[in-house]
Chains A and B, each alone.
Chain A
């Protein structure tokens, strides 16, 4: 995928981008023909081995890691099973890929199973997923039957002999019917926002959920009233991942050079899919208002335009709004560009996430972790991360966003303090190590390991 820059003389068409990414042989501009090898971000990187707990000592301190080991001591030999619906792709699989090895490292034997199902099942669960987050949906008997049939097939296929079984999200929720031994504990981990669900779907799922011993949500505002205890586990980022690890200054400069970003002027960046919920057009408008007062550039770095018709339409709208302004750089990047995204965030003066609908908003977490002053819409899980004027700036409109851009660009000391507080906030609440701590605590509590 090629960056789409609005800079004069360097513009590439949407059709050209599509064909480039698809591996066709496009008519390359002169600049590209001179390249001897592909740029680093054009090739998917090799997978990296998962980190070990000691690798985090330099980040969170030895005391925090020791505490995790003490917490795990009483759980030595206990067994846990995680069950979700996909082994690759998506935030849940990414999180489990990191969490499972870390739990095993502290000798909490953790096994991860993925449910299987046909297209009919995943069509139903996709519809459930959207309906539970508020979309219109007509629940049919056929959809119920498909959901229950595939859950039943998985119940028969998977062994449930562990001390704690954790079921992630609605797709496998009916596996609770495998529960037999009362000594085992079952937990439902809900990664989606249930604050405004389609009631037909929720009423269908609720009797399953209330058979669990506990439910876990990502934000207080995502919950429903339930008869079982509900815990709050914030989503987290891995500070050692490609997207978040420290980078060499030379690499950051190289990425900026490749994308035509001028580091001598302030850089305002939004990283997110080209999706109306992220309001990229609103960001362009806010930037244009702010730029009347302060010289700066806008980088909109995202993806989703090549494999999603709506994404392509949004990208088109953004380009129209940008109107070939040479100070607006629009990048449609492939999904494996974690290092480049990391570099762009680190090169930025301010980061914006002007969402009008949002899940938890992990791009905000990433920005805060990099110590960047961050402006974000007060929606979804963002207020859990941004405490207005303390760890960032919350905004409710284009005008509010523009004002905060101007203010933070012209008050660098205050902006730096926000960035510093934001990083500490992430260190305390939204890192992988905190996630491990929460799981260990929950397992101890569920297995009667002593709450004081």
Chain B
């Protein structure tokens, strides 16, 4: 028998799970890049909100696309600069490997820097269109869903918007400063469902839509119910 099979589901979690969501307003910053060199400089200097917008947030804005879209930086490198190898490098960055925006920024800077070192002639070449660095102003708001049991948790997952899924499942690591998410934390800390918590952390957010992510989370939680 596996460790997962012998888990005992507590009837009542230590504390309820409050489903929240975040609403974002797009702000246009002063940074703008028309070449890869300018892009690198702006990447170093832009506010952290910009890095958040073009990585975490853009994933939410394009949550319905299963493949071919990872972050705005990779998309621009491909569509405006026609640099597929740089685009691939930028697209391979998984936001879930980072718990701070500073680390995430460093990773992007490193990728662009090493590309320009390998291909210095591309640095000053004009892109077909400029990259405008935007940023996100965020307001966290409650939803009508509160889970006092695992069953209510599943019901909540079905009822909330994909924005709420993104808030708890993807953005959460920046709040928690952990390689985890709000759902896994609750399952682990308040219900003792460690295997379910681990399974959630293995869901691949880059090859499915956020709606698919919701369904996978529901399946894991439902299995834990039985």
Question: Residues of A with Cβ closer than 8 Å to B?
Answer: 61-64, 66-67, 70-71, 217, 220-221, 223, 225, 229-232, 378, 383, 387-391, 420-421, 424-425, 428-429, 437-438, 440-442, 444-445, 449-452
Contact = CB atoms under 8 A, between A and B. Distances in A.
Nearest to B136: A451
A440 B141 CA distance: 12
A232 B163 contact: no
A174 B24 CA distance: 30
A245 to B, nearest CB: 22
A443 to B, nearest CB: 10
B141 A70 contact: yes
Interface residues of B, number: 35
B28 A441 contact: no
From A66, A230, A444, residue with most partner B Cβ within 10 Å: A66
B129 A383 contact: yes
22 contacts: A64-B163, A217-B28, A220-B28, A220-B134, A221-B129, A221-B130, A229-B27, A230-B28, A231-B27, A232-B27, A388-B79, A421-B64, A424-B64, A428-B62, A428-B63, A441-B23, A444-B139, A445-B137, A449-B139, A450-B139, A451-B138, A452-B22
A437 B141 CA distance: 12
B143 interface: yes
A66 B23 CA distance: 12
A425 B62 contact: yes
Contacts of A217: 28
Given A223-B28, A383-B129, A451-B139, 10 more contacts: A67-B141, A67-B161, A70-B141, A229-B27, A231-B26, A231-B28, A232-B28, A388-B79, A421-B65, A452-B139
Contacts of B63: 428
A452 B140 contact: yes
B137 A67 contact: no
Nearest to B141: A70
A420 B64 CA distance: 9
A71 B23 CA distance: 9
Contacts of B161: 61, 63-64, 67
B132 interface: yes
A99 B160 CA distance: 25
Contact of B69 (A229, A387, A437, A452): A387
B21 to A, nearest CB: 6
Contacts of A223: 28, 132
Contacts of B143: 63, 66-67, 70
Q: Which label, helix, strand, loop or mixed, suits the secondary structure of the A interface? A: helix
A441 B65 contact: no
A199 B132 CA distance: 22
A227 B137 CA distance: 18
A46 B56 CA distance: 45
A225 B30 CA distance: 7
A67 B138 CA distance: 14
Interface in B1-57: 21-28, 30
A71 B159 contact: no
Given A63-B161, A67-B163, A387-B69, A438 B132 contact: no
A383 B21 CA distance: 28
From A217, A389, A424, residue with most partner B Cβ within 10 Å: A424
A428 B64 contact: yes
Contacts of A388: 79
Contacts of B75: 387
Lowest 9 CB-CB distances: which A-B pairs, in order? A424-B64, A220-B132, A63-B161, A232-B26, A441-B25, A230-B28, A70-B141, A452-B140, A452-B138
Given A221-B132, A232-B26, A429-B61, A63 B164 contact: yes
From A62, A383, A428, A429, residue with most partner B Cβ within 10 Å: A428
A112 B161 CA distance: 32
B144 interface: yes
Interface in B127-176: 129-130, 132, 134, 137-144, 159-161, 163-164
A223 B143 CA distance: 35
B160 A63 contact: yes
A438 B79 CA distance: 28
A217 B28 CA distance: 9
B93 to A, nearest CB: 19
A452 B62 CA distance: 22
B58 to A, nearest CB: 11
A388 B129 CA distance: 14
Given A220-B28, A387-B69, A63 B159 contact: yes
